[in-house]
Chains A and B, each alone.
Chain A
Amino acid sequence: MNIPMTPEALRRVFEEELLNIAPDASFDGVAEDADLRDVLDLDSMDIMNLVIALHDRLGLDIPDKDAAQLVTIKGAVDYLSSKD
């Protein structure tokens, strides 16, 4: 078993993978509960790519229906923490 990652580490991973998808995005001043689809102009293809990247990097099973929980920073960190 891997040692569970801290919320801070999961947040870093999440932000890094988001930046791979939206390379010119910035998280400066983005609220924890802001819908990243609106803030960063992400579409369903971006969310799919994010799920793929997080799955590959963290080895987590992320069912299709759970993708909706990854659209805010807080939602994503909570979700990934619960799965880790």
Chain B
Amino acid sequence: MGLFKMPSLGADMEAGKLVEWMIAPGDEVKKGDTVAVVETQKGAIEIETFEAGTVGKLLVEVGETVPVGTPLAEIGDMSVEAAVPAHEAVPEPEPGPIAPPAPVAAPTLIRAGRHRASPAARKLSAEKGIDLSAIKGTGPGGAVTSRDLEGTHKAAGQKAASASGVDFTEMRKAIGRAMARSKREIPHYYLRHQIDLRAASSWLDEYNGSREPSGRLLMGALLVKAVALSLKQFPDMNGFYENDAFTPSDAIHCGVAVAVRGGGLIAPAVHDTDGLPLGDLMAAMRDLVARVRAGGLKGSELSDPTITITSLGDRGVDEVYGVIHPPQVAIVGFGTVEERPLAADGTLVAAPTVIATLAADHRVGDGRRGALFLREIEKLLQKPEAL
């Protein structure tokens, strides 16, 4: 019961623009229902409610940009809440400077209806005044893509939109703010460790060899699962540092860094990573990547990762040293899996290996703990069948 507010979707978010209501006064909603779409520097995000009940007044108009914490709607029993004043009277919940509402160039956003759309398409439709609900999407899950909008409204010689549609300038600013805060506030320490992947590679080849493509796994899923299981023994790597204190998280929600095509990075959470069988984890990762690129990320996925994992994939370099995403306290990096010289059993062999790195928060622990954590990840990867 109470007020549905503009959520914080990460340390770098100060305000969000409401671009779509998916509810109307009188609707019944339950906890977890998607009720609004908010445009952030990370693109359009579907916001879930943590309130249940009947929708009362909608307090913010589509097109308005409001600070994090601003009441957006009344949901459920409002008898315990004071009458809601107009939202300008709401105290700002976040300390520090809040950006003034971004000037809305043309506050004539068209209500899009319950439509999935890629960030590019959503941006283009807003710019051009195209009604997304009138467009049949051909993207994943019926998402409207910028391609679908071609011909609908073609400005002379204009390119549809930036490749993946996110406003890269805004996203870069947001990443810059969060990373500058991290480097300013978090005393990072760094470790690296080369991990033998012979067992994991052989197991993966055999596993994939007997399956149709949709049932196959990528090495990335094994790496993420090994981190998640290791965290059970290293709760000091999994949680949040806020108000001068570390609070470990009971749940393990690994944030998986996903590149936005054309530039930019989003690290949404795979919820309860440690409990997912590898097949389910792979499906969850595929789904997240698809939604980073086609739209449909949920607010909770952005706001609750308890650690971040960044993996360079098959076209990267040997190692990556991450910057911790506050208020998290650790980031695990995996470089490209490649054959490298490996000394084993008294001989030198060429073997598939990965170089794992850890950046962790010295306010929470020391390098010794970090080293044990990386060793545990290594140990688990030697028995891939148990992941």
Contact = CB atoms under 8 A, between A and B. Distances in A.
A20 B205 contact: no
Contacts of A45: 218, 220, 285-286, 289
Nearest to A43: B313
Contacts of B165: 24
Given A24-B120, A25-B163, A55 B294 contact: no
B205 A41 contact: no
Contact of B164 (A24, A48, A63): A24
Nearest to B204: A64
B147 A24 contact: yes
A49 B286 contact: yes
A23 interface: yes
Contact of B294 (A23, A25, A52): A23
Contacts of A55: 212-214
B152 to A, nearest CB: 15
B315 A24 contact: no
Chain B interface residue bracket vs A: 35 or more
Contacts, number: 68
Interface in B211-225: 212-214, 216, 218, 220
A41 to B, nearest CB: 5
A24 B123 CA distance: 13
**Main SS of chain B's interface residues?**
helix
B218 A19 contact: no
Contacts of B163: 24-25, 41
B10 interface: no
A44 interface: yes
Contacts of A41: 163, 259, 261-262
B169 interface: no
B145 interface: yes
A62 interface: yes
Contacts of A62: 213
B118 interface: yes
A23 B214 CA distance: 20
B265 to A, nearest CB: 12
A76 to B, nearest CB: 15
A5 interface: no
Given A43-B259, A43-B313, A24 B118 contact: yes
In the A-B complex, list the 9 residue pairs whose CB atoms are closest, starting with the nearest: A23-B145, A52-B213, A64-B208, A51-B213, A55-B213, A23-B139, A41-B261, A43-B313, A52-B214
Interface of B: 118, 120, 138-140, 143, 145-147, 160-161, 163-165, 205, 208-209, 212-214, 216, 218, 220, 259, 261-262, 285-286, 289-290, 293-294, 313-315
29 contacts: A20-B138, A22-B293, A23-B146, A23-B147, A24-B145, A24-B160, A24-B163, A24-B164, A24-B165, A25-B163, A40-B261, A41-B261, A43-B315, A44-B220, A45-B218, A45-B220, A45-B286, A45-B289, A48-B218, A48-B286, A49-B286, A51-B213, A55-B212, A55-B213, A55-B214, A56-B214, A62-B213, A64-B209, A64-B216
